[in-house]
Chain A
């Protein structure tokens, strides 16, 4: 105990604080309690110091709580533009997806319509799973090997690709032969090996898949492993569409080129899905289904071609339409030829490479050839050429 300002002896601040903070040993604490019992001054000091400590602790707690509370208040206004920005982004993504979605269409296979091939009794569900597991590996490989030629599928009809298990060749072959060529005789092909058959084989044992819509069919592999088998209703719908386009089919049936049936015949022996081989997905870059309806004439498209960001299409009536936005909007091209337009295509470039209608997903873009010349052929086999699709001159 040290003497302080008073005449009496009192514990110093050190001892009083140590007592208040429970830091005194038991013996010294007993002495302190004995003193506090008789000394109102030191009791008052103890209680005042304790009260101050509690107030400071409360203030500190309130301050920390206030700081944690003000964090949200400070940023509360920032949530408004953040939410608005997120909403705008989500809307943009949605619009983009809706805009892009019609451009590609996955081939859907109805295994019921395809006869079973010996040794390939894999169930569709199992195939789906295999697809999901194997889709990634062959994609890049197959895309690299794909010929650069994509052909126009002139006849209208349902897009069809044989069931992968029965018809898709293994990757080593797919790269060269998977391209489905149309019966269009004017299609330009590259030096890549696209087999051409002079005519279709209507007497084929297997059901002949027919395209129900005018589509540019491109043999390609897709990284999308979500290939599914279409239900029977889908197949029925495709067949119904095929019947409505028999006229166009008949027109091109004898004009050469490899038919889908021939493709099927070639591809079937190479089926190896059950063996865990590479699983290509034949993907069509098909004209959107809405294109037919979007054409000002309302008729089906019998031929179309895309180049220089322009898309030309001929409908059943022989009218030519031009789209500058990938088919979203069409404008009618004034009649500058005789007869009825039948086929529109692109002339080969000077380097001998072929032009394609459009690459799938841009992955196999055709080499840029300048200038590209559109060619239009009428029902009398006369041709007209144009560089912009609007002004046509006789050739």
Chain B
């Protein structure tokens, strides 16, 4: 148990949160509840940057933004509280099944996926002789139902990727042209595009990848980002226009005239030795290398 005063938390605030969340009804002592909150806050640094120190007001804002009711229920279930499980089953058992069916698009697969996750949630799996419950990883940011849906989606995507490893998506890509057919203009064009894509910021690359690679609709992307569909449309047009200008500029920087650069842009994309998927996702390793380093 971590005393609230030891980490500079407002003990009165924690007491209020403990009372409001009705954690006592699920068998959680206030000390245990405080420990959970402190862990959540310190893991995320209360939503602040790594070097920032959260004030008590920022701490209070962070805690107030948590779904404390869901968090307490999840922790009660992880602790094996019987009343907590009764509540969980009553609230989420059926919705979990419906979400799994919606994700898999199949009632059979959905039922199987939901049952598998439910068994895992119930703690049937053990690691190092200790009962392990995924609900322990729920931190109250976002709803518990959303967490369950996302977990189901993760399991489904991972399962799909494992089972379809023999047929990677790259195999369906357009085969690269023969090296001897490449011209100087096409080489310059490939380099210019690669450079232009590298200059795009994260959200622009996300838009390009979701729209052109994943084939998501404007509406899906808009809902994922929480903006209007028209906003995504405008952003996409702006991104593509900017990309075109940047490619032209890169081509001219490479020594081509403006006319030659425009002619190069009219080349057949199949003649290009470019893998946009790899280009858009180039930075994945770099990003997580940076993350790991930090």
Contacts and interface: CB of A to CB of B under 8 A. Distances in A.
A147 to B, nearest CB: 77
A47 B49 CA distance: 27
B56 interface: no
B117 to A, nearest CB: 11
19 contacts: A5-B154, A12-B137, A17-B142, A25-B48, A27-B47, A27-B48, A30-B202, A34-B206, A36-B206, A37-B209, A38-B280, A38-B283, A38-B284, A40-B213, A41-B161, A43-B209, A44-B153, A46-B150, A51-B102
Contacts of A68: none
A56 B151 contact: no
Interface string A42-64: 01111111111111100100000
Given A34-B287, A55-B102, A59-B98, A18 B153 contact: no
Chain A residues touching B, majority SS:
helix
Which of the listed residues B98, B214, B224, B283 has the most CB atoms from chain A within 10 Å of its own CB? B224
Interface of A: 1-2, 4-6, 8-9, 12-18, 20-25, 27-28, 30, 33-41, 43-56, 59
Contacts of B75: none
B146 A9 contact: no
Contacts of B223: 50, 54
Interface in B97-111: 98-99, 102-103
A284 to B, nearest CB: 74
B226 A40 contact: no
A56 B203 CA distance: 28
Interface residues of B, number: 54
Nearest to A30: B202
A38 B102 contact: no
Given A1-B291, A16-B150, A33-B206, A47 B161 contact: no
B65 A23 contact: yes
Contacts of B210: 36, 43, 47
Interface string B185-210: 00000000000000000111110111
A56 B202 contact: no
B191 to A, nearest CB: 20
A134 B208 CA distance: 86
B214 A52 contact: no
B122 interface: no
A48 B103 contact: yes
B146 A39 contact: no
A18 B280 CA distance: 24
B95 interface: yes
Interface of B: 44, 47-49, 65, 95, 98-99, 102-103, 137-139, 141-143, 146-147, 149-154, 156-158, 161, 202-206, 208-210, 213-214, 216, 220, 223-226, 277, 280-284, 287-288, 291-292
A51 B223 CA distance: 10
A9 B146 CA distance: 21
Contacts of B161: 6, 41
Nearest to B138: A14
A159 B187 CA distance: 121
A23 B156 contact: no
B284 A46 contact: no
Contacts of A5: 154, 158
B156 to A, nearest CB: 7
Given A18-B141, A21-B142, A52 B152 contact: yes
A54 to B, nearest CB: 8
A343 to B, nearest CB: 88
Contacts of A17: 141-143, 146-147, 149-150
A138 B99 CA distance: 76
B156 A48 contact: yes
A13 B102 contact: no
Given A18-B141, A38-B209, A47-B224, A53 B146 contact: yes
Contacts of B156: 48
